[in-house]
Amino acid sequence: MRKSISSMYFATTAVLLIASTAVMGFLEMCLVMGYFKEDKRNALNDVVRITAMQIQEDSPLIKALTADETLLDDAQQEVKLISRTSSTRVFITDADGVTTLCSDGKECTHRNSRVAQDILNRAAEPEGFFETGTLDGFYSSRYYTVGRAVLDEQTGQISGYVFASTGAESLNVFVGDMFSGFILSAGLMLLASSLLAIYFTKRLTTPLKRISEAARKFGGGDFSVRVPVEGNHELAQLAITFNNMAHNLETIDSSRSSFMGNIAHELRTPMTSIKGFIDGMLDGTIPPEMRQHYLGLVSQEVGRLTRLIQNMLDVSKLEAGEYRVNAQSYDVWESITGVLFSAEQRIEQQKVEIQGLAPTRTMVYADPDLVYQVIYNILDNALKFTPQGGFIKVTVQKSGGQVMVSIRNSGQGISRDALPFVFERFYKADKSRGLNTKGSGLGLHICKVLVGLSGGNIWAESEEGEWCQFNFTLPCDAPAGEKRKMMQSKK
C-alpha cells in the first residue's frame, strides 16, 4: 500500500514527539529523584546535627550513652520531641554501636540491637553515613538513613553514634503523583501537537499535491495546466519553477506543431509545382517547344527543396550540439570581403551599391566558418529584399571586449510587430517584406544559433519603408579558461 506524504510526515512528527516526551519525562524523573534524595539527606543531617549538639551540651541524652536508667525517661522525651518535630525516627548507640535510646520508646523493636561495624566506620568519617535501604537488616523496609559519630569533648574519642531515618515510601508517593501529572500534561500536549501537525501537514502537502496533479495532466498531454502560487517560501518557488517549465513545454509543443506544419507547407509548395510541370509535359498540356523552359523551372524548385532540406539538417545538427566550434583569433573583415566577392554577380545584376567597405584590421575570437555562414545568410537575406538600385551598408565597430558587425539594406524594412520573431524558424514577415519564394525561413534562425555558439548576440533594427539592419557581436579575445588551456598546450 502506497503511503502518502501527509501520513509519512505525520507519522514522523508523532514518533519524534513521543520520543522527545519520553526522554524529557525520563530526565525529569531522574532530576526529581536526585533532588528529592538530596533534600532528604540534608533534612536528616540537620536532625542528626541537632541531636549531636544536644548530647555534647550535657543534656540527658549524654547519660543515655552510658545507659543511666535514672535519666532514660528524660532522654526518651527529648528524642521523641526531636523526632516528632522533624517527622523522623531517631536512635542513639553507644561507642560499640549498641542501641541505647530510640524515638519509638517502648515500641522500639531494635533496642539493644547492634549496628554493623562497617556502618559505624562510615558514620565516623567527616561526611558521615548515608544510604537508602534497610541499614543492613536494622529496618524491615527501606529508609533514608543518616548517621554521625558523637565525640567526647574532653578525650576526643567517639562516645556514641546518632542515626536519623525517614521512610523511602514517600518518594514512591511523590513520584507516582508527579508521574500522573506528567502523563496528563504530556497527553494534552501530544493531542494539541497532533492537531497542529495535521493542520500544518495539510498546508505543507497541498501545494505538492497540486504540483503532482499538474504533472499527471502533463503526462496526459495537457500543457496548459498551471499551479497556483501562494506565499514566498520554497514550495512557492517550486510552483513558480514548475509553471515556468510548463510554459516552456507548452511553447516547445506549439513550436513543434508549427514546425511540422511549416515543413509540410514548405515541402508541398515546390513539390506541387514540380508535379504540375511534369504532368503537363507528360499529358501534352505543355507543348514540346516550351518543355526546356519548364524543365528549368523544375530545376529551380528542386534546388529550392535541396536548400530547404540542407538548412533543416543544419539546424538539427546545431541545436543537437553536434557541431564542434573551432574558435581562433582572426580578422573579421576576411569573412565580410569573402562573402561580398562571392555575391559580386548578384550585386551587379541588382545594381546594389555597397557602402562602408573600408577594411581595417579588426580581430575577433570565433570560428571563421561560422562567422562566414552568418554574414552570408544576412547578406543573402539583404539582397533578396533590397530594391533595384538600392544600397547595402557594412559597419564594423569595436567596443570594449566586443566587435559589432552591422549590415543595413534599403527597402521596405520590417514592421515593429514582426521584429521579435524574425529569428524564429520558418518565420516570414510577408506583410512588410513581401513573400519571397526563394526563402526557406531558416536562414536567420541559423544565424541566431551560430552567433550563440560563437559567444555573441544578434538582433534586428528597422525603420519601416526605409531600411532594415541586422547586428551581431563577437568576442575580441578568448575567455580566461580558453587562454589557460592555450598556454598549457604551448608549454
For the chain, what are the domain ranges?
5-173, 234-319, 328-484
Q: Which three cell numbers stand for residue 450?
A: 551560430
Give me the architecture of the 5-173 domain, per CATH.
2-Layer Sandwich (3.30)
Set of cell numbers at residue 471 = 547586428
Cell numbers that stand for 169 in this block: 515510601
pTM over 0.85: no
Residue 432: the pLDDT is 37
Q: Which helix (H) or strand (E) holds 269?
A: helix 234-282
Q: What CATH number was assigned to the domain covering residues 234-319?
A: 1.10.287.130
Task: Locate all alpha helices (DSSP H) within 320-410, ordered by sequence.
Answer: 332-342, 344-349, 368-385
pLDDT in tens, the chain (491 residues): 455 666 776 777 778 878 888 888 888 888 878 888 888 888 888 888 888 877 765 555 555 555 555 556 667 777 788 888 888 888 888 888 888 878 877 777 777 788 888 888 898 888 889 988 888 888 888 888 999 888 877 777 888 888 998 887 777 777 777 778 778 888 888 788 778 877 777 777 777 777 777 777 777 777 777 777 776 667 777 778 878 877 777 776 776 666 666 667 667 767 887 888 888 888 888 888 888 888 888 887 787 678 667 766 766 666 666 667 788 999 999 999 999 988 888 899 999 999 998 889 999 999 998 898 899 889 988 998 999 999 999 999 998 889 999 999 999 888 888 888 888 776 665 533 333 444 556 778 888 888 988 889 999 999 988 999 999 999 998 765 555 555 555 44
User: How does DSSP classify residue 475?
Assistant: E
Strand ranges in 95-141 using DSSP code E only, listed in sequence order: 99-102, 129-133
C-beta separation of 429 from 412 below 8 A: no
Q: What is the pLDDT of residue 435?
A: 35
- Please say whether the structural domain 328-484 has been given the CATH code 3.30.565.10: yes
Q: What is the dihedral of CA 182, 188, 194, 195, to 10 degrees?
A: -160
167, containing H or E segment = strand 158-167
Structural contact between residues 60 and 78, judged by C-beta atoms closer than 8 angstroms: yes
Distance, CA of 90 to CA of 64 (rounded, Å): 13
Integer Cα distance of 469 and 407 in angstroms: 6
Residue 352 has a pLDDT of 93
Q: Are 388 and 461 in contact (CB under 8 A)?
A: no
Supply 274's cell numbers.
514540380
Spatial neighbors of 333 by CB under 8 A, at least 6 apart, are 359, 360, 361, 362, 396
CA 422, CA 442: separation in Å to the nearest integer?
A: 10
* Residue of 478, 443, 482 lying closest to 366 (CA atoms): 478
Residue 354 makes CB contacts below 8 A (sequence gap 6+) with 340, 347, 391, 392, 393, 394
Q: Is 434 helix (H, G, I), strand (E, B) or coil?
A: coil
